[in-house]
Structure 1
Amino acid sequence: MAFEVVGKLIKVLPEVTGQGKNGAWNKQEFVLETLDSQYPKKVCMSIWGEKASDLKQFADGDMLKATFSAESREYNDRWYTELRAFRLELAESGNEGGYVAPTRPATQPQSAPTRQNQPTQAAFNAAFDEESNDLPF
């Protein structure tokens, strides 16, 4: 499932490279600050491989829309979560920033619940009139 977040690019961390069994790899981490609420949130994401060069075209302060996947893994009874971006683009000018829900198929709107089984006030009053009231006061 893909998620999206819109925010201001506030920091690009140094590029990390390494050598694995499948060859050389590189990743770049960056921080976006969402602007959707009274309390902005900072989100650190990573971008891997060739896509890391896409990050170089943006400057600090640019409003970006990042499409990403989230994954968690366990190591020594601790869980680590990574937000891995796979698409970066400038945000639309009308979007103020923040979390955008994952894309899902369109669903039919639900109708309002019916009131068939709800008792009316008259039925309630008839059931508890003064003659059937056994209360001492």
Structure 2
Amino acid sequence: MDLQGRIIAALPAREGESARGPWKAQDFVLETHDAYPKKMVFSVWGEDRLQRFNVQEGQEVMVSFDIDAHEYQGRWYNSIRAYDVRLVDPSTIQPVQPVAPAAAPASAPAASAEAPAAAPAQDAVPFPETAEGESADDLPF
């Protein structure tokens, strides 16, 4: 999968020793440019990839990644590992505008003045009210 966005955080690198030898990894936070931006944390594993990608805060990048999950003591954890990170020219980014509801097509007939208005539903039962005039339901909205 691929995702484009701006690096908003570079977390500290982690390293250690395993049965296969030494390892190094670093996590990065990417924010998309959608109308409602999303954030994603991805990991880069291997000192060679960390040096080759050279990811820095503020960069505009295209991240190619794999998603996997593993189980540990009865709980499941997601893992998002980047296998390629490419710089993107910031001038090519188009700002995304929220999508407005579609208007009725011009060829659609307008509602006639003679058409009766929709009658309110007779089966609707209002929520019971308390003495103060507030709704008795327990919903917070």
Q: Which ranges of structure 2 fall in alignment gaps of 5 or more residues? A: 97-141
Equivalent of 1:22, from 15, 20, 44?
A: 20
For 1:117-128, list aligned pairs within 5 A.
Answer: none
Q: Distance in 1 between matches of 2:68 and 2:86?
A: 22
* TM-score using structure 2 length: 0.61
**How far apart are residue 55 of structure 1 and its match?**
4.1
1:54 and 1:88 in contact (8 A); partners too: no
Q: Distance in 1 between matches of 2:41 and 2:16?
A: 20
2:53 and 2:86 in contact (8 A); partners too: no
Deviations 1:30-72 (A, max 9, x none): 00001122x211100000111112343x432211000010100
* TM-score using structure 1 length: 0.62
Amino acid corresponding to residue 68 of structure 2 in structure 1: E
Amino acid corresponding to residue 6 of structure 1 in structure 2: Q
Q: Distance in 2 between matches of 1:73 and 1:27?
A: 18
Higher helix share: 1
Q: Relative to 1, partners in 2 of residues 1:96 and 1:54: Cα closer, same or farther, differing over 3 Å?
A: farther
Equivalent of 1:33, from 27, 31, 34?
A: 31
Q: Distance in 1 between matches of 2:67 and 2:94?
A: 23
Q: Relative to 1, partners in 2 of residues 1:97 and 1:24: Cα closer, same or farther, differing over 3 Å?
A: farther
What is the aligned residue count?
94
**In the alignment, what sits opposite 1:84?**
81
**How far apart are residue 97 of structure 1 and its match?**
8.6
Is structure 2 residue 70 aligned with structure 1 residue 73?
yes
1:30 and 1:44 in contact (8 A); partners too: yes
Higher strand share: 1
Q: Which ranges of structure 1 fall in alignment gaps of 5 or more residues? A: 99-137
Moved over 6 A (4+): none
Identity %: 34
